[in-house]
Amino acid sequence: MRALHFGRLRIVTSLALLLAGYSIFCALSVAWTQFLARPYQDPYQDQPLSRRMGLVLLLALAGLQGAHFADLSLHQGWQDTLAYRLTLFLVAPSFHLFSRPLLQGPGLRPSRVPPWLHFVPAVLALVLPPQAARTTAFLIGAGYLLWLGHSLMALRHERARFSAEATLLGTALLLAAGVAALGVLPALLPAELFTALYASAIGLAFLLVQTTLSLRPQLPAEVREAAQATYLNTTLAKVDCEDTLRRLGALMAQQRLFTDPELSLAALAESLGLSPHQLSELLNTRLGKGFARYVRELRIDAARTMLVERPAASVLSVGMEVGFTSQSTFYEAFREIEGSTPGQYRKLHRRPTVVSDSSAPIG
């Protein structure tokens, strides 16, 4: 019986080591693609705090996973260090400060708590015994999870737009909640088993987030726009929505504004005589999509036509001509909307070549 228990623990530990290593590389990848590479329609371009806190969060999680890897494989005891406890206290507040502006939008329900105040509880890592400090950090994390759940519930009316993504991210949230519960009651599990489960939960959460971003790269921008539409009192009371939508359609059809790689919500709103919040609400409430999705669909629609009508044009040249800034973003958007790559679409819809019969009589 004891041998069986030991064997199961070794399996769990091996899985934890694999997921811990994956987490470290995934954290670096997400940090680059989401915060450092500045992708098109960067949802953090006017939210420097979200960008900084996102990086802090990823570095903190990578640091925790590094400690878990060292403890599980080499028994180094890094979880008993002050650096580990301080890092543990960084996770919940950095996640809160990262996600709050995205879930509630700029200028909406501003917090009266200065950002630095969220990190004051980290002082407890200096004065509490190691186990008590870890338990306290998990309790604080549980409180932030309750806030996150409440914020996500406020977006429930938008769930039809994010059903698959919400399922994946909801699973990640449940994993975090389970770890927080176990962290509050550490005596329930042996130290090595808890470390393995904690490392596995972080790794699985990274896997779910990475899968979600792969399925929908522009998800952060779309969630932010949906949040703006949810929290704002209507800004369209004095706007002729039907006329504005007609003018918007004319601008896109005649001037093809969507082909401008630098087109922004603010610039398009100004051309329509609206504020960015008004245009965001108009797109969300009348068309059921945010600005990023709206522009992306127009570009893909134009690209579909060009791929068929201009068979000699390279796929990259088509993507650049309709407004994408790189082949990778064009492929991601095309696959997301059309379900295939541009090359596959062109082959499937290739027009038959008309061959003239030189032997046919003339006249």
Residue 106 shares a structural domain with residue 147: yes
18 falls within a domain: yes
Report d(CA 282, CA 239) in Å as an integer: 9
SS3 call for 274: coil
High-pLDDT (> 90) share of the chain, %: 30
Q: Of 9-13, 31-35, 232-236, 321-325, give the range with the top mean pLDDT.
A: 321-325
Number of compact structural domains in the chain: 2
Instruction: Read off φ and ψ for residue 340, nearest 5 degrees.
Output: -150, 170
Residue 175 shares a structural domain with residue 316: no
What is the pLDDT averaged over residues 183-207?
79
87 falls within a domain: yes
Residue 212 shares a structural domain with residue 250: no
* Percentage helix, strand, coil for the chain under 3-state DSSP, each rounded to 5: 75, 0, 25
Residue 27 shares a structural domain with residue 137: yes
Asked which of 10-14, 16-20, 303-307 is least confident by mean pLDDT, the reply is: 10-14
Final residue belonging to a domain, choices 217, 251, 274? 217
Among 59, 56, 78, residue whose Cα is nearest residue 69: 78
309-318 pLDDT tens trace: 998 899 999 9
Angle, helices 291-309 vs 327-338, to 10°: value is 90
297 falls within a domain: yes
Q: Provide the whole-model pTM.
A: 0.62
Q: Which two tokens stand for residue 189?
A: 């599990």
Residue 180 shares a structural domain with residue 242: no
Supply the DSSP symbol for 237: T
Final residue belonging to a domain, choices 217, 251, 267? 217
360 falls within a domain: no
44 falls within a domain: yes
Residue 314 shares a structural domain with residue 213: no
What CATH number is attached to the domain comprising 252?
1.10.10.60
Residue 320 shares a structural domain with residue 285: yes
Q: How many CB atoms lie within 10 A of CB 223?
A: 24
Residue 40 shares a structural domain with residue 120: yes
225 falls within a domain: no
Does position 94 have pLDDT exceeding 70, yes or no?
yes
Within 13 A of 3's CA, how many CA atoms are on the CB side? Answer: 0
Residue 83 shares a structural domain with residue 182: yes
What CATH number is attached to the domain comprising 134?
1.20.1070
Range of the domain at 279: 232-348
Residue 177 shares a structural domain with residue 61: yes
Residue 212 shares a structural domain with residue 301: no
222 falls within a domain: no
Position 136 scores a pLDDT of 87
276 falls within a domain: yes
Final residue belonging to a domain, choices 174, 192, 217? 217
Residue 299 shares a structural domain with residue 210: no
Report d(CA 144, CA 315) in Å as an integer: 45
